[in-house]
Structure 1
């Protein structure tokens, strides 16, 4: 059973998210919080597999709560909720180590899929939100990001680039292993090496680098 915390300052939003998540047989909402400080305290005191945090909250916003959780509960898996107008916050959340982000108006099935992915140790990048972020990056900024990403990827071996390309497509370790005809344990080892070489805290950051560099699966 996946144990979830929902943190949002709007009771109706929390109720809606709870209704969606509890409709899945493998998900249990074990706690709710109305602000970031309460969310951090709850994760410290309660066994939670995924903390679902709204970016905009009173007392302590979601980004501050995320940073605090990364310091005090390093193993916490956090999925951020955002809206279209918060592109900079999305990038900051990923930089702070969020396992992914999801738009508040996403389909119910996508919310369940995201929680399952993050609980399983994988990243989840909302396709709609990802397109929004990419579309709002200026051409010079996008070019600079692509050049920096390609420079960083030069450290990787050909096999590591294959693994990163599939990671950038959102595949799990198991799915990547099937595509590369390798064991899940082997892929996990590759992912650890990739994160270390790229200086990334998590799979999401590495996946964004792959996308910035235009890395695509080739022949796998």
Structure 2
């Protein structure tokens, strides 16, 4: 297993937030803060020059906002994976960020333990969304204007895979942003059983994570009860 720390750039317009993030991340042996940026222009310049593994940045940066920085990073530092550090009132930016290639959204009121976890997960190639942000993203992606094919003629497309009733129920709950433990409680089954069902669903549908599953469900009208 590699012991090389994950190289992280943090960007936020508030010095106190940068200081807090630095303090939290510097306690993690798996992470190295290689640079800080106080505005969008500085964030872009440092991404290009330092090529960090992960960028954790505020969605509302001074001078150049986070979404513009994200667009620039995608073209000028494509190896860097971006996590947006956002407040709950910025939900309208979440979908646009995911469309632009953002790999994760971390709410500013999240527990500090989730900061390291989100960075590790995103660095490993996964998408990071908690239940709140997942639900916000899914609601917007469910709009007919976002995915008209999912709503065409009002007829769902369920012919791509043979899913059991239990699997369909789990897909609906995943699309609503529920976690495995919450799904287990709602369905009166064990958390391990939920994980087993999800493994089978991922395999049947050819998706690799919960967000892909939720988006597939919306495309094919599997996010609502028949």
Relative to the length of structure 1, the TM-score reads 0.69
> C-alpha distance in 2, partners of 1:120/1:156?
32
Q: In structure 2, what is the equivalent of residue 179 of structure 1?
A: 199
8 Å contact kept, 1:146–1:214: no
Q: 1:120 aligns with which of 118, 124, 134?
A: 124
Q: Which runs of 5+ in 1 are unaligned?
A: 193-202
Show structure 2 runs of 5+ residues with no match. 181-194
Q: 1:13 Cα shift? A: 0.2
- TM-aligned CA distance change 1:31 to 1:156, over 3 Å: farther
Q: Does residue 161 of structure 2 align to residue 158 of structure 1?
A: yes
CA contact (8 A) 1:40 1:65 kept: yes
Deviation sequence 1:109-129 (CA, Å, 0-9, x none)? 111111111111110012233
Structure of larger gyration radius: 2
Q: In the alignment, what sits opposite 1:206?
A: 212
Deviation (angstroms), 1:74: 2.2
Residue correspondences, number: 190
Determine which of 77, 97, 103 is the counterpart of 2:101: 97
**Could you tell me which residue of structure 2 aligns to residue 70 of structure 1?**
74
Distance in 2 between residues matched to 1:71 and 1:110, nearest whole Å: 28
* Conserved? CA contact 1:5–1:31, under 8 Å: yes
- C-alpha deviations, 1:124-164, integer Å up to 9, x for none? 012233345567x6xxx9563697464699599428xx9xx
Once the two structures are superposed, the pairs formed by residues 1-220 of structure 1 within 5 Å of their partners are 1-132=5-136, 142=142, 144=144, 148=148, 150=150, 154=157, 157-158=160-161, 179-180=199-200, 190=206, 206-210=212-216, 212=218, 213-215=221-223
RMSD (CA atoms): 3.9
Distance in 2, Cα, partners of 1:86 & 1:127: 15
Q: Is the 8 A contact 1:94 1:204 kept in 2?
A: no
Provide Cα deviations, 1:180-206, integer angstroms capped at 9, x if missing partner: 4x9xxxx7xx559xxxxxxxxxx7873
Q: Could you tell me the TM-score, scaled by structure 2's length? A: 0.67
Contact 2:51 2:77 in 1 (8 A): no
Q: 1:209 to 1:113 in 2, by over 3 A?
A: same
Q: Shift of residue 21 of structure 1?
A: 1.7
Runs of 4+ aligned structure 1 residues displaced above 3 Å come to 131-135, 145-157, 167-171, 203-208, 210-216
- Taking the aligned partners of 1:91 and 1:147, their CA distance within structure 2 comes to 12
